[in-house]
Amino acid sequence: MRTLFFYAVFALFALTAQSQSTSQILKQQAGEGVKQGANVATQKTADKVTDKVLGKLFDKRNKKTTTTQDNNTAPETSQINSPKNTGFTPVKNMEEDKSSLQTYSKFDFIPGDKILAYDDFSKDAVGDFPSTWNTNSTGEVVNASSKEGHWLMFRKQGKFIPEYIKTLPDNFTFEYDLISNDKFSYYSPALSIYFLTGKHEKDIFDNAFIVGEKRSGVKISLHPTAGLDKGGEGNTESFDNGESFLKNQVNTKQFVSSSGMKTVHVSIWRQKQRLRVYLNEEKIFDLPRAFPDGKAYSTALFEIWGEMKDQDRYLLGNIKFAAGLPDTRSKLITEGKFVTSGILFDVNSDRIKPQSYGVMKDIANVLNENSSVNVKIVGHTDSDGNTAANLDLSKRRAEAVKASLIKDFGIDASRLQTDGKGASQPVDSNATTEGKANNRRVEFVKL
């Protein structure tokens, strides 16, 4: 009996090793040709074998994650539900609870000082394609059970255009959150965003719209699965009058489906010809001459260039488009006030999001270089919610900024005062999402 048991265990290990070996061999044989869609049969075979091996690992990890959830948090799975119910349910980003300002210590991104568009899809019905967008494909607004608010889900080939963006200034920032599903296939295409010359006219839906219309600009593509699931990929390509002249591909650990990094905050910064791209705190591109000079840019669009695998999809949310080149030093020292919407907080919370590091560091640098300057930090909210609660929240957020400047950047506490105004002093309309985003701000007033 003991001998039979030994042979059974040995056979099980041998079968597992053979499956792993087969997966690797098939992937290697597929090579770049598979990546281009040249050998469909090999793709399906490799996917099937790999999923059998990796599926067990993911199931075990998910069970472990569920058992270690906080008692106040509902367990999360990798199941995808109907958008009419709870929408898309990704496995929780394993790094979310560890993130802090210090994890972003090399993050130098500073958003534009005037929000031109903010889209959280809150005014769009779940199940519909957004009314302020256009497409030659389909998409739908969904809820994500592990995330706040509404998200736009893409799962089909096509172009997706936010029509409220009419022009792209010489200096702008564009931010969004992106989610992929668990075990996202290597053979599903990347999600790309373009910033181009020309308008949102019908020709833009043509497959050769860049070459045919001789457009100029840049394309930035993200994929959560690189070759053999070793990481994620970021790509960039520049065009001048329809001709590609600059391209590159990099690997990243910030957006990796196979290791739980399925949520990423994307920050794009244009300064005339220069392009910077960040995934969370990592700068993956810094290109001095990505944008051809002397052009007027006005088109922004997302694209999925090919067919997606049935189980795969992207979720897009919290789009923030801002203009201007912030000049913290001049505005605070010379004009006496610096206002920013770039210090971000968790919803209804005074916890500062780590993406705020670039702005916080910039303010701290100005204060360190001007040691005689004292400031009052004033928090402001939009008009949503209770007036008293908003006033209290604005005061607590101002205190949180003060505490961070002291603890994380070494500013003397005696130089900082705080106050909060709630929603009593709006600078924009609270009837629009971008107006509310502008009203959620922090002011630094020179004393």
Q: Can you list the pairs that 330-334 forms with residues at least 24 positions away whose Cβ atoms lie under 8 Å?
A: 332/363, 332/366, 332/373, 332/375, 332/444, 332/446, 333/366, 333/370, 333/373, 333/446
pLDDT value of residue 99: 62
| Residue 83 within any structural domain of the chain | no
**DSSP run (H or E) holding 179:** strand 171-180
Mean pLDDT value across the chain = 81
| Residue 209 within any structural domain of the chain | yes
**What is the b/e burial string over 92-123, where b = at least 16 CB atoms within 10 angstroms of the residue's CB?**
bbeeeeebebeebeebebbbbbbbbbbbbbee
For residue range 61-76, what is the model confidence (pLDDT) as tens digits?
333 333 333 333 222 3
- For residue 41, give every residue at least 6 positions away whose Cβ sits within 8 Å of its Cβ, in sequence order, or none: none
Average pLDDT over residues 102-110: 86
Q: Are both 53 and 9 inside the same structural domain?
A: yes
Q: Are both 209 and 307 inside the same structural domain?
A: yes
Q: Are both 146 and 261 inside the same structural domain?
A: yes
For residue range 129-184, what is the model confidence (pLDDT) as tens digits?
999 999 999 999 999 877 889 999 999 999 999 999 999 999 999 999 999 998 89
pLDDT value of residue 363: 95
Q: Are both 417 and 431 inside the same structural domain?
A: yes
| Residue 77 within any structural domain of the chain | no
| DSSP annotation string for 25-91 | HHHHHHHHHHHTTS-HHHHHHHHHHHHHHHHHHHHHHHHHHHHTS-TTS----S-B--TTTT-B-PP
| Residue 73 within any structural domain of the chain | no
- Maximum alpha-carbon separation in the chain: 87
pLDDT value of residue 208: 85
What is the percentage of the chain residues whose pLDDT exceeds 70?
Answer: 77
Q: Who has greater pLDDT, 417 or 8?
A: 417
Query: Are the beta carbons of 146 and 89 closer than 8 angstroms?
Result: yes
Q: Are both 28 and 105 inside the same structural domain?
A: no
* The dihedral formed by the CA atoms of 427, 430, 434 and 437, expressed in degrees to the nearest 10: 70
Where does the pLDDT of residue 101 fall: very low under 50, low under 70, confident under 90, or very high at 90 and above? Answer: confident
- For residue 63, give every residue at least 6 positions away whose Cβ sits within 8 Å of its Cβ, in sequence order, or none: none
Q: Are both 209 and 288 inside the same structural domain?
A: yes
| Residue 80 within any structural domain of the chain | no
Comparing C-alpha atoms, which of 152, 390, 355 is closest to residue 254?
355
Neighbours of 218 (CB within 10 A): 24
**How many helices (H) and strands (E) are present in the chain, helices listed first?**
7, 19
For residue range 365-420, what is the model confidence (pLDDT) as tens digits?
999 999 999 999 999 999 999 999 999 999 999 999 999 999 999 999 999 999 99
Neighbours of 429 (CB within 10 A): 12
Query: Are the beta carbons of 220 and 268 closer than 8 angstroms?
Result: yes
Domain count, the chain: 3
Q: Are both 374 and 427 inside the same structural domain?
A: yes
Domain boundary among 323, 348, 368: 323
Q: Are both 387 and 353 inside the same structural domain?
A: yes
pLDDT value of residue 212: 87
Q: How far apart (Å, rounded) are the C-alpha atoms in residues 404 and 41?
A: 55
pLDDT value of residue 79: 37
Average pLDDT over residues 31-53: 39
Domain extent for 58: 2-67
| Residue 154 within any structural domain of the chain | yes
Question: Could you tell me the CATH number of the domain that includes residue 434?
Answer: 3.30.1330.60
Q: Alpha carbon 256 to chain centroid distance?
A: 13
Backbone angles phi, psi at 347, to 5 degrees: -60, 130
Q: Who has greater pLDDT, 329 or 238?
A: 238
Question: Could you tell me the CATH number of the domain that includes residue 129?
Answer: 2.60.120.200
pLDDT value of residue 258: 83
Comparing C-alpha atoms, which of 337, 339, 342 is closest to residue 358?
342
Q: Who has greater pLDDT, 318 or 83?
A: 318
234 pLDDT above the threshold of 60: yes
Beta strands in 188-334 (DSSP E): 191-197, 217-223, 232-240, 243-252, 263-271, 274-279, 282-287, 297-304, 314-323
Q: Are both 260 and 369 inside the same structural domain?
A: no
Q: Are both 332 and 318 inside the same structural domain?
A: no
Range from 12-21, 283-292, 316-325 carrying the lowest mean pLDDT: 12-21
Range from 21-35, 224-238, 271-285 carrying the lowest mean pLDDT: 21-35
Q: Are both 292 and 232 inside the same structural domain?
A: yes
Quote the tokens at residue 308: 């997606």
Q: Are both 113 and 203 inside the same structural domain?
A: yes
| Residue 78 within any structural domain of the chain | no
Where does the pLDDT of residue 249 fall: very low under 50, low under 70, confident under 90, or very high at 90 and above? Answer: very high
pLDDT value of residue 62: 36
| Residue 79 within any structural domain of the chain | no
pLDDT value of residue 229: 60
- For residue 155, give every residue at least 6 positions away whose Cβ sits within 8 Å of its Cβ, in sequence order, or none: 139, 308, 312, 313, 314
Three-state secondary structure call for residue 241: coil
Comparing C-alpha atoms, which of 87, 81, 84 is closest to residue 149?
87
Domain boundary among 323, 351, 374: 323
